[in-house]
Amino acid sequence: MSDLDAKYLRLQELLRGLGSVLIAFSGGVDSTLLLRVAVEVLGAEKVLALTATSPTYPRYEFEESCALAATFGVRQLVVESDELQIPGFAENDRSRCYHCKKELFSLCRAKALELGFAEILDGSNLDDLGDFRPGRQAADELRVRSPLLEAGLGKEEIRELSRRFGLPTAEKQPFACLASRFPYGTEITAERLAQVERCEDFLRQRGFRNYRVRYHGDIARIEVAPEELARFGDDTLRAEVVAAFKAAGFTYVALDLQGYRSGSMNEVAA
């Protein structure tokens, strides 16, 4: 038996012992695999996918989450969560993610109690321990389980299992809420979130697979996967990007030559 197979069996065992679960479901790589396996092990009637809509959650991500939940035959509960109203979130200090996750997991806890689900789960995995993740504190405080992490599964292993199951998220870029595009200390507003979302939508529609648009006031800093950087050598595409980003409200458009990397805003964090 391979190491990955052993971890998958461990994941199944963990889920089987939980009885019924409410999963914080974004439609990303991790929560999609978790939902798929939970339905397999427990049955759809014992699983609830909770998705929170907010200004930090791109519309197309929400639509994809709905399609995935329907594919698995699982009930999806959609709740509204306006993080901009949470004290400390819009100010965007280093505890921003804590405030956001505490709000989300509090909603999950309330719905789990109301609807009779035994455990609350999220899609955190082993690789998440290698970055600054204040949201983990909120998960601990609200007793949220992370079966992928508990089974010892990292991101690439999760992608491999997703390929085995034919999940459409297997090659999907890592998901992070739009608030992660802002340097700590830069105020987050609904208008700025919409500005970033509009620009990222443009890159997605042009076929980029791994990308972020980082907000720096008048400057939009584009991160794409290193293998996609060469696409900006095309004069027509470059002109279209500049025009689209300026129409969204940016004055300057910069390409980050390091390329896309998760958590780049933490590189300058004190």
DSSP 78-130: EEE--GGGSTTTTTT-TTHHHHHHHHHHHHHHHHHHHHT-SEEE----GGGGG
Phi, psi of 257 (to 5 degrees): -75, -10
CB 123 within 8 A of CB 21: no
Q: Which of 174, 173, 169, 106 is nearest to 135 (CA)?
A: 106
97, 100, 108, 177: the active-site residue: 177
Q: Is 66 marked active-site?
A: no
Give 165's DSSP letter.
T
Instruction: Give the distance, in angstroms, between the CA of residue 84 and the centroid of all CA atoms in the same chain.
Output: 18
Rounded-to-integer distance, Cα 195 and Cα 188, Å? 11
CB-based burial of residue 106 (10 Å sphere; 0-12 exposed, 13-18 middle, 19+ buried)? middle
Please give the positions annotated as active site.
Answer: 177
